[in-house]
Amino acid sequence: MTSEAPRWFKSSYSGNGGQCIEVAINLAATHNVVPVRDSKNTDGAVLNFTTGTWSSFIAYAADQSV
C-alpha cells in the first residue's frame, strides 16, 4: 500500500504579511480530508477537515467577501 503525501500550497492572494495558511487539496478525492497548516510553522500542527466541512467554510468565506 502506498500513502499519498500532502502537496501543500498557499493562495496566490497571500501577501507577505505572515498570516497565511497552506492547504493540501490533493487528498480530498482519495481520503475525504483537506489538511491545513500554518505557513510559518510547517512542522507544527495540521488541522484535518472533511471535504464537506472545508467546502462549507469556503462557501461561507466567499459570501462574507461580498
What does the pLDDT read at residue 48?
97
Is residue 38 assigned to a domain? yes
Beta strands in the chain (DSSP E): 21-23, 33-38, 46-50
Is the pLDDT at 12 greater than 90? The verdict is no
Is residue 49 assigned to a domain? yes
CA distance linking residue 17 with residue 51, whole number of Å? 27
What does the pLDDT read at residue 31?
94
Is residue 39 assigned to a domain? yes
Is residue 55 assigned to a domain? yes
Q: What is the pLDDT of residues 34-64, one digit of tens each?
A: 999 999 999 999 999 999 999 999 999 999 8
Domain tally, the chain: 1
Is residue 3 assigned to a domain? no
| Host domain of residue 42 | 21-64
Model's pTM, two decimal places?
0.82
